[in-house]
Amino acid sequence: MSKSIYRQTPIFLSFLFALIGLTTSLSIQAQTPAYPTKPIKLIAPVAAGGGLDNIARAVAEKLSRSIGQTIVVENMGGGGGTIASQAIAKAPADGYTLMIAYVGTHGTNPAVRRLPYDAIKDFTPIGMIGATPNVLVINSDLPIKNFKEFVDYAKKNPAKLSYGSAGPGTLTHLGMEQLKLAAGIFMVHIPYRGVGPAYTDLLAGQTQAMLPTLFAALPYINTNRVRGLAVTGAKRSSAAPTIPTFKELGFSGFDGQQWYGLVGPANLPPAIVTKLNNELNKVLALPDFSEKMTSEAMTLMPMTPPQFTNYIKEDIARWAKVAKDRHIELE
């Protein structure tokens, strides 16, 4: 072999290896179909109508346009989201069956119940959508004008206050138990089958307090039928800027909110997760989508999949601590 050929051999080999690599990459791409190639099913773990269903349909509409494929919303209520969550956990990990997770399915339920699914291991967190704070509201007939007066009144009248919830183990229950523990007050818990009946008795004066979502409470607050005293979260809501946060009032740790996010079955391919996360965050940045969610007292919270995973873990840990401190465990 001549010296000239010897000197050129490394260059030739480098070119040859690069060509082989490119050919292999193109071959793999040709064998891997683009995602998505067919309609996607998005499960809303509630009955049709209401806040979560509205969010699911708004996300589906915008996301379908963004990814160029139809997204069909399927309502699957029952068991506080347990039935839908179990269905998603058993679905094929191909990106064609997704769910709107929320604080019930991946926050409070795992903290207080023995579930047929593992809220961490059986799902792939794709991205956060947003959250609406909860607000402490009281019957407007009570002689109380602010949060400090509420705590003082509760301490002086331990047998006079009861609060309603949407049911045992819900955010409206655990949040109030967290408040009772932090403030050193006593209130009787009256559980209902849903937030609607709880509101009926609150407005009638049968119960005196509740911790619903701010969005659900705003019509009653704005018409002075209930009085809003404090909201959860890190900052005041633009939907009710005059209501202070619990943190402002000296009560830290009241960050629990009614949150919503997008999840799929465990072991979704990373490329599909990345694509869906990118497209979801594009939807959250759309001005008309942001305006619609703001009108429902929601703060949009775009996250990466790892950030959303950590959020879920922290939320479960938050409510598990409250459940342990208050000895709450449900079948």
Structure tokens at 37: 């190639």
pLDDT above 60 (res 21): no
At residue 295, the pLDDT reads: 87
Q: How much is the pLDDT for 24?
A: 44
pLDDT of residue 2: 47
pLDDT of 260 reads: 98
Give the closest residue to 308 by CA, choosing from 286, 283, 276: 276
The pLDDT value recorded for residue 211 is 97
Can you give the pLDDT at residue 229?
Answer: 98
pLDDT-based confidence at residue 12 (cuts at 50, 70, 90) = very low
Average predicted confidence (pLDDT) for the chain: 90
Helices assigned H by DSSP within the chain: 3-31, 51-67, 82-89, 103, 109-112, 147-156, 171-183, 195-204, 214-222, 270-284, 287-295, 305-325
**pLDDT grade, residue 9 (50/70/90)?**
low
Residue 10 has pLDDT above 60, yes or no: no
Is residue 13 over pLDDT 80? Answer: no
Give me the helices (H) in 184-262, please: 195-204, 214-222
Q: 79 pLDDT band (50/70/90 cuts)?
A: confident
49 pLDDT band, cuts 50/70/90, is: confident
Is a pLDDT exceeding 60 seen at residue 35? yes
pLDDT band with cut points at 50, 70 and 90 for residue 51: confident
Question: In DSSP terms, which residues pair with 190 in a beta bridge?
Answer: 164
Stretch (H or E) spanning 243: none
Distance of CA 143 to the CA centre of its chain: 35
Q: How far apart are CA 47 and CA 97, in angstroms?
A: 18
pLDDT score at 33: 64
pLDDT at 133: 96
pLDDT average, residue stretch 10-37:
53
3-state secondary structure of 329: coil
Q: Is 63 helix (H, G, I), strand (E, B) or coil?
A: helix
More confident residue, 1 or 198: 198
Mean pLDDT (whole number) for 218-231 = 96
The pLDDT, as a whole number, for residue 182 is 95
* Whether the Cβ atoms of residue 129 and residue 284 lie closer than 8 Å to each other: yes
pLDDT tens profile 258-289: 999 999 999 999 999 999 999 999 999 999 99
**pLDDT at res. 26:** 43
CA proximity to 268, closest of 75, 81, 125: 125
What proportion of the chain, given as a percentage, has pLDDT over 70?
90
The beta-carbon contacts of 48-56 under 8 Å, at least 24 apart in sequence, are 48/75, 51/132, 51/213, 51/215, 51/216, 51/258, 51/296, 52/100, 52/102, 52/260, 54/296, 55/100, 55/129, 55/260, 55/293, 55/296, 55/298, 56/100
User: pLDDT tens for residues 125-181?
Assistant: 999 999 999 999 999 999 999 999 999 999 999 888 999 999 999 999 999 999 999
Q: Is the pLDDT of residue 206 over 90?
A: yes
The answer to which of 6-15, 49-58, 65-74 has the lowest mean pLDDT is: 6-15
7 pLDDT more than 90: no
- As given in the structure block, the two tokens for residue 262 are 């997008």
